[in-house]
């Protein structure tokens, strides 16, 4: 099968949505399918390259200055650039596309719809989360009448629609009055390969947690309002000094979070580590004691899946697709959004109950095995075949 995936963000650009798109693209390629990705160009990236068996085409996206975030202008430029590329390279793309998989209804959706029609192939749309609902932004599509109309049109015109979580499906129905069927396929999990031996400390055969009496929290994500890191930093003030926090990721709120940590007198226990490689994140997760997701909303939470695979208990907010993953008290604890007190209480419950923490970590490793990318990738392939048959 020839699969053309269109996604305005593809690693190293963007966050979880782009990572999820890339994981599926690579899984389809491993299964023997020919996969091409049409995405946005970023500074320092080649226009064309083969990444782990996937042909990546990056179209012009002038003005994008940050790896982690896009603006309305750069998203609009991508839509125009993708449509122009599709229009002028129809014969080339026609050879690469029996079906199109569109990631993000906004901004990718309109461009992908027209390209699918020009090529005469079905369009399977994947809705993620922030493309239809982001409570942290005044500009969220669900709050804008024009963007609501675009989303209704894109979702209505797709040949098949997939949501990455039950929450994303619920938001689409609630805010856009969608009556058509939406299939839920959680982002499949791709186990992170261990780092090569040469990057391990000298003499270390495995990665182990330091035995120094420190209870280590970790959280991974872009430093943007939706991730709720300000509430996590405030929670640190309510936790004892033997609790330390590492936040992995870059973004526009870096300086603001550092200033907040200083104001709350926890700067010595809150470590903002910036952007890290997958190998570094692998090590950091396995050297930690608990994962905390403080987001105001998540489409699903790939980072939660990574924490589960590392055998960590999880404290997560209760608003988003992460509720498909965390079932308290089996494998973690759920807390209300924007509530530093409840975050601190949940962390202390896990810190003070090593047996509970160990059970949660073991259950997480059992549960994540059922979401392996190779299984979920087949669900997509089945959806593609049904759309092509129709």
The answer to whether residue 208 scores a pLDDT higher than 80 is no
Q: Residues 76-82: what's their mean pLDDT? A: 94
- C-alpha span between 42 and 57 (Å, rounded): 12
Asked if residue 178 lies in contact with residue 143, where contact means CB atoms within 8 angstroms, the answer is: no
DSSP-assigned beta bridge partners for residue 56: 37, 49
Q: Are 307 and 184 in a shared domain?
A: no
174 and 318 share one domain: no
Residues 250 and 380 in one domain: no
10: domain CATH number? 3.40.50.2000
Are 380 and 342 part of one and the same domain? no
Closest CA to 128 of 226, 228, 269: 226
Task: Give the pLDDT mean for 76-91.
Answer: 95
Q: Which two tokens stand for residue 225?
A: 């309002």
| Residue 10 sits in the same domain as residue 107 | yes
User: Which among 224, 291, 210 is positioned nearest to 257, based on CA atoms?
Assistant: 224
Residue 302, token pair as written in the block: 């790939």
Same domain, 155 and 46: yes
Q: List Cα–Cα distances, 292 to 23, 32, 229, in angstroms.
A: 23, 37, 10
- What is the torsion angle, in degrees rounded to the nearest 10, for the CA atoms of residue 95, residue 186, residue 146 and residue 137? -130
Residue 137, domain extent:
2-189+372-389
What predicted TM-score, i.e. pTM, was given to this entire model? 0.80
pLDDT tens digit sequence for 2-56: 999 999 999 998 878 888 899 999 999 999 999 999 999 988 899 999 999 999 9
- SS3 annotation, 192-248: CCCCCHHHCCCCCCCCCCCCCCCEEEEEECCCCHHHCHHHHHHHHHCCCCCEEEEEE
Residues 135-173: pLDDT tens digits? 888 889 999 999 999 999 999 999 999 999 999 999 999
Bridge-based pairing state of the strands 123-127 and 183-184:
unpaired
C-alpha distances out from residue 359 to 76, 311, 328, 343, 352, Å: 47, 9, 12, 20, 13
Q: Are residues 29 and 137 in the same domain?
A: yes
pLDDT tens string 335-363: 999 999 999 999 999 999 999 999 999 99
Same domain, 363 and 277: yes
What is the pLDDT confidence band of residue 200, given thresholds at 50, 70 and 90? very low
Give the residue-averaged pLDDT of 264-292. Answer: 93
The total number of structural domains in the chain stands at 2
Q: Are residues 348 and 337 in the same domain?
A: yes
Same domain, yes or no, for 215 and 321?
A: yes
Could you report the per-residue pLDDT of 219-242, keeping only the tens digit for each? Answer: 999 999 999 999 999 999 999 999
C-beta of residue 104 within 8 angstroms of C-beta of residue 75: no
The pLDDT value recorded for residue 201 is 45
Same domain, 161 and 257: no
Whether residue 376 sits in one domain with residue 366 = no
């Amino acid at each position: 099968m020839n699969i053309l995936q269109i996604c305005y963000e593809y690693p190293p650009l963007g966050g979880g949505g782009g990572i999820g798109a890339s994981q599926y693209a690579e899984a389809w390629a491993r299964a023997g399918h020919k996969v091409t990705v049409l995405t946005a160009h970023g500074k320092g990236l080649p226009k064309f390259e083969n990444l782990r068996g996937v042909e990546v085409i990056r179209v012009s996206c002038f003005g994008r200055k940050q790896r982690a975030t896009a603006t309305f202008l750069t998203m609009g430029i991508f839509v125009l650039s993708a449509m122009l590329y599709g229009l002028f390279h129809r014969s080339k793309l026609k050879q690469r596309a029996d079906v199109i998989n569109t990631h993000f209804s906004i901004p990718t959706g309109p461009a992908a719809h027209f390209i699918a029609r020009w090529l005469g192939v079905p369009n399977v749309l994947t809705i993620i989360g922030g493309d239809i609902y982001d409570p942290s932004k005044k500009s969220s599509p669900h709050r804008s009448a024009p963007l609501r109309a675009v989303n209704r049109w894109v979702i209505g015109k797709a040949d098949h629609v997939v949501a990455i979580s039950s929450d994303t499906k619920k938001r689409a129905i609630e805010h856009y009055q969608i009556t058509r069927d939406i299939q839920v396929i959680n982002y499949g999990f791709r186990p992170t390969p261990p780092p090569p031996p040469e990057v391990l400390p000298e003499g270390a055969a495995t990665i182990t947690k330091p035995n120094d009496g420190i209870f280590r929290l970790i959280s991974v994500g872009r430093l943007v309002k939706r991730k709720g890191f300000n509430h996590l930093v405030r929670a640190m003030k309510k936790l004892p000094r033997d609790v330390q926090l590492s936040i992995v990721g870059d973004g526009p709120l870096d300086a603001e979070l550092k200033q907040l940590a200083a104001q709350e007198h926890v700067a010595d226990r809150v470590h903002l580590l910036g952007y890290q490689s997958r190998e570094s994140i692998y090590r950091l997760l396995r050297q930690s004691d608990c994962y905390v997701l403080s987001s105001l909303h998540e489409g699903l939470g790939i980072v939660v899946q990574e924490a589960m695979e590392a055998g960590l208990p999880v404290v997560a907010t209760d608003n988003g697709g992460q509720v498909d993953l965390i079932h308290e008290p089996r494998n973690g604890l759920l807390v209300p959004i924007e509530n530093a007190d409840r975050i601190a209480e949940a962390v202390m419950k896990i810190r003070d109950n090593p047996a509970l923490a160990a059970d949660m970590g073991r259950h997480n490793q059992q549960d994540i095995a059922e979401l392996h990318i190779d299984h979920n990738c087949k669900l997509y392939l089945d959806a593609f075949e049904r759309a092509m048959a129709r």
